[in-house]
Chains A and B, each alone.
Chain A
Amino acid sequence: MVMNSTLRYLLKKIFKMIFTIWVVTTLIFVLIRLMPSNPVDRYIEEQMIIYGIGYEEATLRAQSLFSMELDEPILTQYISFLKDVVHLDFGQSLLSPGVDVMSIIAARLPWTLFTVGLGLLSSFIIGIVLGTLMAFKRDKWYEPLVSGFASFLSAIPDFLIAIFLLLIFGVFTFGTGHTIIPITSLRGNYSMFVTPGWNMVFIKDVLLHGLLPILTYMFSQLGIWILLMKGSTTSTLNTDYVTIAKVRGLKSSTILTNYIGRNAMLPIVTEFAMRLGFIIGGSLIIEQLFVYQGIGLELLNATNGRDYPLMQGIFLIMTSAIVLCNFLAEVLYVVLDPRIKLQGGRKANG
């Protein structure tokens, strides 16, 4: 019985995940193919005007670029489009013809995953520790300072934090005559003179270039973790089972990890996945600020250059990543909070 409802819960979530990706795919198909003056029609017209070729030939070129069969009825096109998406085949880039969209994504995605992942992880760890600490030190003088700073961080947009960081690290000299980090090290993924590979020079250079994006992601999320963890630990501290655990004379470290930590973490785990969507959205602006060659900057360049196949590919990959993370968070939630199984998939507490 219990096993059954867990299974049903997971199946429902998997269905939701696939449905979401399908909605986005369809949205993109409609935007690219069915809107009046859509990019495919425009591309064909352009080719006919620029190269003076016939409609047939232009259509052929468009077909190979967008990987669509333009002569087929719209439903067949749609189905083959879905098939291509399932095989991660998004056609070729318009701006750099002959290059597969997927290979561009594969080259750019690791950089974004590296900075976003490291930033999110470090903010999570620091935030959880600070938040728990603040919950225990509620009567100390520095607690309002930390909480105030946390709510400041959680309020202001990430790209403004990025600007502040850039000013502090790369512009202001603080009377020493030079900036903390030379500003050329704050742009791009790595310096021109280093050779990529597993050597110390390269790794150090990559970390230096990635430092500000990582710090931006960290600071932009840090406030939320501190506030959430402080709130949920404070409410856990006053529960009966913690009091009983103390009365039973359990070690305070056991109480902290097994009784307080586990319950206080619950609401935060789902938040972790929710934040990912925000961060990936923010990465567009942050990678532009630091000229960091990640997936966000690539989407921006694709949009500015009207490179539709690339746009659709990147957007689909981004959405899939976020949806997948949401799904994993929901699975993790079941593992952490067994109450969910009994309630037939409804979240036990909000």
Chain B
Amino acid sequence: MAEKTYKTLSSSGRIHKALKQAEYAIVHDKVGFIGFLILLAIIILSLISPFVFPVDVESDPSMILQGPSREHILGTDHLGRDIWAQIANGGRELLFLSFVTALLGMLIGVILGAFSAVIGGKFDEIMLFLADVWLSIPRFPLLVVFSGFFTLNNATLSIVLAVLSWAGIFRTVRSQVLSIKERDYIEVAFMQDLSLPHIVIKEILPNMMGFLAVNFTLLMRSTIYSQVGLVFLGLLPLEQNWGVMINLAWTQGVIYNPRTIMYLLAPTIMICLLILSLVWIGKALEDVFDPSLRK
């Protein structure tokens, strides 16, 4: 009983500490703060846009490929639909997909990496070897080849991307766990004969939350790259997101019509902003949790 109260206390302390750290992480670094604001703006825009800026469902042949005007601040596309509404609605799916994929990928990588490092021995050696092998297979061409065999949609893509990215996270998590493993309290946990899952989940993982957060943003970034890339190549079903807009703007030959260049430029800039915000947030987090990396 007494032991139980002790545990809850310590874990609530951890949450409190994490909140304090998060607050510091958001505010302490100027660039990181800007990144956070951009991401927040994109999230809010994605949430409110279905109600405030609904996407035009009907085409308007009289308004095809118009330049920016009062009603259409970014102009219209090849079917006469408002581009701003598409921009406002185009981030939701990307954000959601990259978040889910990163979550899945982290889960696989962390479980494998942490257990491999703790178990050690031959198992660890083989896993490391396999990860090395896996890392040298070019990922994007592999995705393209896959799409020739299976029809990918957003759900399957998410799973495939998560599975494909296991090796990178595995390697970084493994080396991190190896260094934590050497600390005294882990040795104590082993001497107490606590179970392996307990040591990994309760003792090791909470001490690398910052590290995991950084890798989470990196994974989201590479997911966005893959998804937008595949959409651009026309290998994914076309839905409402910025990558699809680039693809359509491209195939509709917008580059030969500089007046409506916003159709191509706006989603490109939005994707840049989203990725930059993730990278900046990741950098700020890195500073918070690992002061030795400060330069």
Docked complex Cα distance between A319 and B133 (Å): 11
Docked complex Cα distance between A250 and B79 (Å): 70
Residue pairs across A and B with CB atoms within 8 Å: the count is: 110
Q: Is A164 an interface residue (CB 8 A)?
A: yes
8 A Cβ contacts from B217-233 to A: 221, 224-225, 228-229, 232-233
Chain B interface: which size bin?
35 or more
B133 touches A157 (CB 8 A): no
Q: Is B140 an interface residue (CB 8 A)?
A: yes
**A243–chain B nearest beta-carbon distance, Å:** 20
Interface string of B267-280 (1 = CB under 8 A from A): 01001100110010
8 A Cβ contacts from B184-228 to A: 221, 224-225, 228
| Contact status of A285 and B137, CB under 8 A, knowing A156-B272, A163-B264, A315-B145 | no
Docked complex Cα distance between A10 and B139 (Å): 25
Q: Which residue of B lies closest to A230 (CB)?
A: B295
| Contact status of A157 and B138, CB under 8 A, knowing A167-B265, A284-B144, A285-B232 | no
* Residue numbers in A under 8 Å from B250 (CB-CB): 289
Quick one: which of A19, A277, A285 contacts B233, CB cutoff 8 A? A285
Q: Is B261 an interface residue (CB 8 A)?
A: yes
* Residue numbers in B under 8 Å from A285 (CB-CB): 229, 232-233
Quick one: which of A155, A164, A172 contacts B258, CB cutoff 8 A? A172
Q: Is A256 an interface residue (CB 8 A)?
A: no
Docked complex Cα distance between A114 and B225 (Å): 24
* Stretch of A49-57, A74-82, A117-125, A298-306 with 4 or more beta carbons under 8 angstroms from chain B: A298-306
Interface string of B161-205 (1 = CB under 8 A from A): 000000000000001000000000000000000000000000000
In this complex, how many residues of chain A approach chain B with their Cβ under 8 Å: the count is 52
Q: Which residue of B lies closest to A288 (CB)?
A: B233
Q: Is A194 an interface residue (CB 8 A)?
A: no
Interface of A is mostly: helix
Q: Is B256 an interface residue (CB 8 A)?
A: yes
Residues of A near any B CB (own CB < 8 A): 16, 19-20, 23-24, 28, 31, 35, 39, 151-152, 155-157, 159-160, 163-164, 166-167, 170-173, 183, 231, 234, 277, 280-282, 284-285, 288-289, 296, 299-300, 302-304, 306, 308, 311, 314-315, 318-319, 322-323, 326, 350
Docked complex Cα distance between A318 and B141 (Å): 9
Docked complex Cα distance between A289 and B232 (Å): 9
Q: What are 9 inter-chain pairs, A to B, with CB distance below 8 A?
A: A16-B132, A155-B276, A156-B272, A166-B255, A167-B265, A171-B261, A285-B229, A288-B232, A300-B233
Docked complex Cα distance between A302 and B264 (Å): 27
Interface string of B247-261 (1 = CB under 8 A from A): 000100001101001
